[in-house]
Chains A and B, each alone.
Chain A
Amino acid sequence: MLRLEGLEIRQGDFALSADWALSDGTICAVMGPSGGGKSTLLAAIAGFLAPDGGRVSWNGRDLTGLSPAQRPISILFQDNNLFPHLTIERNLALGIDPKGRLDAGRRDRIAKVLERVGLRGMEGRRPAALSGGQQSRAALARVLLMDRPLVLLDEPFAALGPGLRMEMLDLARTVLAGEGRTLLMVSHDPEDAARIASDIVLVDARRAEPPKPAGPLLADPPLALRAYLGR
């Protein structure tokens, strides 16, 4: 279980607090106006920001002092999720072992994962030789290889068209959440959230609200969410 205990983040005028828990296997959307701190919240959970107060824990283990790679977390950013100068196989190998070593067993694992995300035989390509959707699939494949229980998605599919984005979200749900992982994803689109999320965290007015069931929340949005959704 992911638990944020009295988490406080301050950056100049900006501030954000969070105090809640997320049960395992949940797919949770993080919604709210731009600049509200959705990405900042994810960065703090992932370990890119040291919080000014409080702590982040996973199954009772305090993560606060750990580096991003030491946390039971994998994260996909808005862009730059693959090293453009490395082949897909090399990019994925770094998900298994940061030293990037490859042997027959690992090549085999990579081939299998690529097949699962629909990129069979693409090992030797560089990211630039893939389409945007294929690059997203390759990044998802690496998340699968890293095999961490908590996956953070900071709008990695935002640059894709609506159809492709839905496709990727479905894929993320099947291959990632299907294996019992917890998913925390920033979302701008209530449709995205309605499609795959069971819960929603609303980030607004310097606070990340505790997760609430998505269905009721979207059907009868509170004032802040209503303003954001334009209803």
Chain B
Amino acid sequence: MAAGAVAITRGMRWPGGIAAGLVLALTLGTLGAVAWRAGFALRLGPADWAAIRFTVWQAALSALASVVLAIPVARALARRRFPGRAALVTLLGAPFILPVIVAVIGLIGVFGRGGILNDALGLAGLGPVSVYGWHGVVLAHVFFNLPLAVRLILQGWLSIPAERFRLAASLGAPVGRLLEGPMLRAVAPGAFAVIFLICLTSFAVALTLGGGPRATTVELAIYQAVRFDFDLGRAAMLAVVQFALCAAAALGLRAAGAPEALGAGLDRVVEHHAPGGRVIDALAVTLAALFLMTPLAMILGRGLPGLAELPGGLWPAAARSVAVALGATALTLVMALALALRGGALARLSMLLPLAASGLVMGTGLFVLLHPFVSPREVALLVTMLVNAVMALPFAARVIAPAVAQAEAGHGRLADSLGLQGLARLRWLILPRIRRPLGFAAGLTAALSMGDLGVIALFAGDGQATLPLLMVRLMSAYRMEQAAGVALVLLAISLALFWIFDRGGRVDAAA
């Protein structure tokens, strides 16, 4: 079998090797440190088992609710054209870069004690509902993941060729049983598995809306063990459990077929030949839009008054957040590019592994490793940047790697014939051809890192809060108005960073 010419040394392989090493060290290496600290003995107490049960149960319920509720919404978007449809589809992509803690403020504004839902219930003479507890955790997870589920399932609908709809219509066959049922059976398990995995690693939602014996996730339990009990052995043991859970879920995701989450081209509408269903479609779209947009509006509604009394320490915290986000972005892009150029099984593994890792586990591992040498507080921001960079890697790599492959497929032979290697190949072929995806990936990473509340909560001392951590501190002091003001600032900076990077990739990008 003829192979590609052996003498072609296309790109540099060693930077990808270093990136893979860093990913492995931060995921498996920290896990090893944690396991070593735990003495490799799993002695799970009743509270630990409760946390494990709750983690799995809430993730399953959140994923199931997201997928089931997404089906009618996706069907309506697939077969109806209406004013605002494009805006709604765009909105469905927004939660990905919306900081979790900011969304929580919006959800509290709607479903919380003084929220508009309880106001309405009060007028109707009904008792107040609480957003705190397991149902609040699930509610927030559905808020975040319903849009993702809708996008994934909508993609499934739009992937059914128009000819099949025509054929079914001409045969008078039931479209649902013939086309849509099989499509859903193919797409829904993947969507469920993705959301299940995302909800397994939930920390910020559990920290703010959950807690207590009945709504503590494993991640939250790790945090409490480190932060409050300083019980590194228990934290380590829980970290091993968390990694095992995530790894099992990631394997399940592979079995279910990982769906394409960031795909474009959702502006089409499928041909629809069967009459009826207009009312139910309108209802699904309206309810979904209300469910998504009301909390977003509340972020503005609660945040704008809060801007009048922003707390001290806001701007230093903002500066720290931006610095961490920019550092993480640079590191993630370099790693993603290096891995994409290297290719091969090790690179692919490194691009996926962080999905199964959790920021808290990495943080705990680094805590265990660094504790004897430096005070973790001294390196809090550096560690946060490193962990954020690795956590964002799968998303950035998923955008960048196909673009690199496309540049190579289109012009790799030309570059080979000219002898473009190493940095010259990067400069003259790869970088100019991947500007747009690179900008988009940078925007994603910066926004994800800005909004991250994970490892920083584990490490930070008093003078080291980032914006999300500052918000949590204000919320736990019941200064909700100030927290809402900070939320608005955080949201503005996140969106601005995303916009600047994404825009930077588009401006003057030659075809």
Contact surface of A with B, Cβ cutoff 8 Å? 9-12, 44, 46-52, 65-70, 73-75, 77, 80-86, 90, 94-95, 98-100, 126, 128, 146
Contacts and interface: CB of A to CB of B under 8 A. Distances in A.
A48 B433 contact: no
Contact of B418 (A44, A47, A80, A98): A98
Contact of B8 (A68, A74, A77, A84): A68
Given A84-B511, A98-B424, A50 B5 contact: yes
Q: Which of A46, A47, A68, A100 has the most CB of B within 10 A?
A: A68
A78 B421 CA distance: 23
B429 to A, nearest CB: 7
B7 A47 contact: yes
A82 B429 CA distance: 11
Nearest to B414: A80
Contacts of B421: 98
Interface in B1-27: 1-9
A150 to B, nearest CB: 12
A50 B416 contact: no
A221 B9 CA distance: 43
Given A12-B1, A74-B417, 20 more contacts: A10-B2, A47-B416, A50-B2, A50-B3, A51-B2, A67-B419, A69-B418, A69-B420, A70-B7, A75-B417, A77-B413, A80-B413, A81-B414, A83-B428, A83-B429, A98-B418, A98-B420, A99-B424, A100-B424, A128-B511
A94 B428 contact: yes
B2 A86 contact: no
Nearest to B431: A85
A67 B5 contact: yes
A65 B6 contact: yes
A49 B5 contact: yes
15 contacts: A10-B1, A48-B416, A50-B6, A65-B6, A67-B7, A67-B416, A68-B5, A70-B7, A81-B414, A84-B510, A84-B511, A94-B418, A94-B420, A98-B424, A128-B510
B327 interface: no
B411 interface: yes
Contacts of B7: 47, 65-67, 70
B115 interface: no
B432 interface: yes
Given A94-B418, A98-B418, A80 B3 contact: no
Contacts, number: 92
A37 to B, nearest CB: 11
Interface in B243-277: none
B427 interface: yes
Contacts of B413: 48, 68, 77, 80
Nearest to B421: A98
Contacts of A51: 2
A218 B226 CA distance: 85
B432 A86 contact: yes
A174 to B, nearest CB: 23
A77 B417 CA distance: 10
Interface string B68-110: 0000000000000000000000000000000000000000000
A11 B416 contact: no
Interface in B375-420: 410-411, 413-414, 416-420
B2 A67 contact: no
A90 B427 CA distance: 12
Contacts of A146: 418
A10 B1 CA distance: 5
Contact of A67 (B8, B414, B427): B8
A47 B4 CA distance: 8
B5 A47 contact: yes
A100 B417 CA distance: 14
Which 10 A-B pairs give the minimum distances between C-beta atoms? A69-B419, A67-B7, A85-B432, A98-B419, A85-B510, A68-B416, A68-B417, A47-B5, A49-B2, A67-B8
Given A67-B7, A85-B511, A46 B424 contact: no
B511 A67 contact: no
A74 B7 CA distance: 16
B376 to A, nearest CB: 45
Contacts of B510: 84-85, 126, 128
Contact of A9 (B2, B416, B427): B2
Contacts of B417: 46, 68-69, 73-75
A83 B408 CA distance: 12
Q: For B416, B427, B428, which residue has the most chain A Cβ atoms within 10 angstroms?
A: B428
Contacts of A50: 2-6
Contacts of A48: 4-5, 413, 416
Contacts of B433: 85
A52 B4 CA distance: 11
Contacts of A98: 418-421, 424
A185 B7 CA distance: 24
Contacts of A84: 510-511
A147 to B, nearest CB: 13
A11 B2 contact: yes
Nearest to A8: B2
Contact of A100 (B1, B6, B428): B428
Contacts of B419: 67-70, 98
A83 B510 CA distance: 10
A95 B414 CA distance: 10
A90 to B, nearest CB: 8
Interface in B474-511: 510-511
A84 B406 CA distance: 14
A49 B4 contact: yes
Nearest to A93: B428
Contacts of A52: 1-2
A66 B433 CA distance: 27
B414 A83 contact: yes
A68 B2 CA distance: 16
A84 B432 CA distance: 10
B4 A80 contact: no
Nearest to B423: A99
A134 to B, nearest CB: 16
